[in-house]
Amino acid sequence: MHKHLRVALATATAAALTGGLLSFTAVTATAADSVHHPVADFNNDGYGDVAYSAGRSTVGGKKGAGQIVALYGSASGVTSTKRATISQNTAGVPGSAETEDGFGWVSAYGDFNGDGYDDLAAAAQHEDVDGDTDGGTVVIVWGSASGLSGATTVKDAAPSSHDRWGRALAAGDFDGDGTEDLAVGSSSNRVYVFKGGITKAGTYGGRYSLTTDIIAGGEAGTLMLTAGDVNGDQRTDLVVDGYRDGGDVGYYSNWYVPGTASGLDSGQARELKSGLITGIGDIDGDGFGDIVTGQNWDPADDGGPTVPESTTGGKVHIVYGSADGPAATVAVTQNSGNVPGSSERGDWFGGELSLGDINGDGMTDLVVGAPGENLGSVVDTGGVTVLYGSASGVNTMSGYQYFAQSTAGVPGSDEKGDRFGGEVKLTDVTGDGRADLTVGAFGENAGNGSLVYLPSDGTRITTTGARSIAPSSVGVSTDASPYFGANAAN
C-alpha cells in the first residue's frame, strides 16, 4: 500500500523518502479534560501558540538534524518575529545536533510540571543513544513567561526492547488526578505513560505501559497517539494508531483506549475504522469528543489486494462520542454532499486534519487537507476544506470553505508539488476565543516548506490579515529540504 510520508520521514533517511504526506494529528479545541489546555500557551500570555517542525533541517552543518519552531500568538496572530527556534544545539537542550536525528518531527504540548505554562515534548527518534542506533530520545522544553527555554530528558523506559523512543507522543490527564500525563510510543506496540506530572529534574509521579496486541511491533509499532475525552468523564482517552498485519495485506489500525481512575485501560480497547491521521473534538456540541480519522489511500490499481477502507481520493471517518465511548460512524469524501471538489486518485483528502471552534458556537469545526489535489494542470499543489460543526454533526451541505494558494488573498500561488494542506492546525492564536488556521505546505520551493496563516474573523476563516511564513524568516536553513511546516505539535 501507499506509505504515508509522515511515517516514512519518521522512519527513514532522506534517501528513502517517497511519495506521500507529512502530517501530525491535532487535538480537540473543546472536549478536553480538566487539566490539558485545549490551546497551547507556552508563555501564558492568553494567546494561543503553535509549534511546527522543520524535521529535515540542517543544523550546524548536520543534515537532517531537525528543529522545531514555536510561534507565539498575539492580537495580530502569528508572525516570524515572535518565536523560538529550537534544536539540540540550542542552549539548555540535552544532546547535540547530529545527522539524521530528525529532532522535532514529533511533538506534543502540556503543562507537565504544573506551573501554569505549557511545555513542549519533542522527540529525536533517530538519535543514537549509548551505542544504540536509532534508540531515540524525548525531551521536554519548558514553558515560561519568556516562552520556551531549557529542557529535560524523559528517559527511555525500556531501551533494550525497542528503538525510536518518541515515535509518537500525546499528553492529557488519563487518570483524572489533576496532573498532566505523557504517553510515549516507539517501534514496539507498547505505549508508556508517565503519570502525575514530570519535573525539571526528570522525576515523575509514576509510570505504566499498555499494548494493543493487534498492532505489530518491530519496524511498525506505534505510529500516532491522539488524546481527548470521548466519553465525557473528564479523563483523557487515547487513540493508538499503528500498523497491523492483515494477512494478505497490512494496513493501519486504530484503537480507542479509555482513560479510567487507574489510567488507560487497554482491556477496554475498541478497534475503530482504519486510517492514520486522527483528531478529537466535539463536532455536534453534545459534550462528548468525536474521533475523526483521515484515510488517504486509494484502492489498489495493480491487481493486488485492496487495503480495507480504501476510497478513491481519500476520506475521513467521524466516530461520534457518547457516554459509552465511540458510537455512530459516518464517512466524508469530496463526493459527500456539497463538499468542494471531487474524489480523484492521489488527492489524499484526509491526509491531514484539525479540529477547533472557528465561530465560537460551542461546536468544533473540521479542517481537512488534500495535499495531493491537482488544480488545473498543476499537479500536487494541494487544497484545504473547512467544514463546520452543527448539532446534527459535520455540515457537508452548506457553509463550507475551500482554500488553495490560488484563492484570492491567500499568499503564494499554485505550484507543482507544494502540498498545501500537508499540515493544518486550528488554534486560537489571537486570543478572541475563535480558532485561527495555519496551513503547512511542506513541498514549497522544492521542500523548503512554508506556513500560511489564515485568521478567523469571528464567524469564518478569512484571508484578511493572511500572511506567509518562510523557513528562512524563522531561522531554519533551507539546505537539503527542511520541510518546514510538515508537522504541528498536538
Mean pLDDT, residues 235-243: 93
- What pLDDT score was predicted for residue 3? 35
Report the distance separating Cα 257 and Cα 245, nearest Å: 20
- What pLDDT score was predicted for residue 5? 46
Residue 338 Cα distances to 168, 386, 427, angstroms: 35, 12, 26
In three-state secondary structure terms, 446 is: helix
Mean pLDDT, residues 378-404: 97
pLDDT-derived band at 8 (thresholds 50, 70, 90) equals: very low
- What pLDDT score was predicted for residue 248? 52
Tens of pLDDT, residues 166-197: 999 999 999 999 999 999 999 998 999 999 99
Q: Which three cell numbers stand for residue 71?
A: 510561534
Mean pLDDT, residues 281-287: 96
Report the distance separating Cα 414 and Cα 370, nearest Å: 13
- What pLDDT score was predicted for residue 212? 81
Residue 364 CB burial class (10 angstroms; 0-12, 13-18, ≥19)? buried
- What pLDDT score was predicted for residue 359? 97
Contact 215, 253 (CB under 8 A): yes
Report the distance separating Cα 41 and Cα 33, nearest Å: 16
Does residue 104 have a pLDDT over 50? yes
Mean pLDDT, residues 31-37: 71
Report the distance separating Cα 433 and Cα 5, nearest Å: 33
Q: Order of strands, edge to edge, in the sheet holding 251-257?
A: 222-228, 237-244, 251-257, 270-272
Tens of pLDDT, residues 195-237: 999 999 999 999 999 988 777 666 678 899 999 999 999 999 9
| Gyration radius of the chain's alpha carbons | 20
- What pLDDT score was predicted for residue 19? 29
Tens of pLDDT, residues 348-385: 999 999 999 999 999 999 999 999 999 999 999 999 99
> Please, what's the largest Cα pairwise distance for the chain?
58
Contact 127, 117 (CB under 8 A): no
Per the DSSP assignment, residues forming a β-bridge with 452 are: 439, 468
Tens of pLDDT, residues 436-463: 999 999 999 999 999 999 999 999 999 9
pLDDT-derived band at 253 (thresholds 50, 70, 90) equals: confident
Q: 261: how many CB neighbours lie within 10 A of its CB? A: 11
- What pLDDT score was predicted for residue 221? 82
Query: What does DSSP say about strands 190-198 and 329-332: parallel, antiparallel, or unpaired?
Result: unpaired
- What pLDDT score was predicted for residue 147? 98
Top mean pLDDT of 252-261, 302-311, 450-459 is at 450-459
pLDDT-derived band at 249 (thresholds 50, 70, 90) equals: low
Q: Locate cell 490539558: which residue?
A: 36
- What pLDDT score was predicted for residue 305? 63
Tens of pLDDT, residues 38-54: 899 999 999 999 999 99
Does residue 31 have a pLDDT over 70? no
Q: What is the mean pLDDT of the chain?
A: 90
Does residue 317 have a pLDDT over 50? yes
Report the distance separating Cα 489 and Cα 50, nearest Å: 7
Does residue 15 have a pLDDT over 60? no
- What pLDDT score was predicted for residue 219? 64
Which distant-in-sequence residues (6+ apart) come within 8 Å of 83 by Cβ? 69, 70, 71, 72, 474
Does residue 34 have a pLDDT over 80? no
Provide the 8-state DSSP code for 14. G
DSSP string, 318-373: EE---TTS---EEEE-TTSTT-SS---TT--TTSEEEEE-SSSSSS-EEEEEETT-
- What pLDDT score was predicted for residue 32? 57
- What pLDDT score was predicted for residue 75? 97
- What pLDDT score was predicted for residue 217? 65
Contact 164, 11 (CB under 8 A): yes
Mean pLDDT, residues 416-435: 97
Q: Measured in Å, how far apart are the chain's first and last C-alpha atoms?
A: 26
